[in-house]
């Protein structure tokens, strides 16, 4: 794995599934919360916040990857591309892991602002 730490796949989605299907069942929500991995949740929150601002579809080449760094920081790398690959915009930023959603939203907004007219069709 070349020194990279992988996240446990499926942990957060199981919790979100339980919350969406059993929001009224406090015992189920508490059970899934007990197996939540906070670091993974923060990383996923940053990624999802970025992608939500970009408002892409299954046909829109967008990506976001958040990784924890020493000192409680989160590094978020994100990008948007035209479907034909003719243009690509990237963003990379760091911020406190505790502000994961703000970090993700700022990245998405920066990508949208810098995308230019060629990307307008993605959001129309």
H/E element holding 96? strand 88-96
pLDDT digits (tens, 9 = 90+) for 55-65: 877 778 999 99
Rg (CA), the chain: 16
* In this structure, CATH architecture of domain 39-123: 2-Layer Sandwich (3.30)
Residue 8's pLDDT band, with cuts at 50, 70 and 90, is very low
pLDDT digits (tens, 9 = 90+) for 60-80: 899 999 999 999 999 999 999
């Amino acid at each position: 794995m070349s020194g990279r730490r992988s996240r446990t796949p499926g942990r957060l989605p199981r919790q979100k599934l339980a919350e969406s299907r059993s929001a009224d069942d406090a015992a189920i929500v508490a059970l899934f919360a007990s197996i939540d991995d906070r670091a993974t949740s923060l990383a996923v929150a940053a990624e999802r916040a970025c992608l939500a601002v970009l408002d892409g579809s299954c046909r829109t080449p967008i990506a976001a990857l958040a990784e924890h760094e020493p000192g409680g920081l989160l590094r978020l790398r994100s990008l948007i591309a035209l479907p034909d690959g003719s243009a690509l915009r990237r963003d990379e930023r760091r911020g406190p892991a505790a502000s994961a959603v703000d970090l993700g939203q700022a990245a998405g907004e920066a990508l949208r602002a810098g995308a230019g007219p060629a990307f307008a069709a993605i959001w129309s």
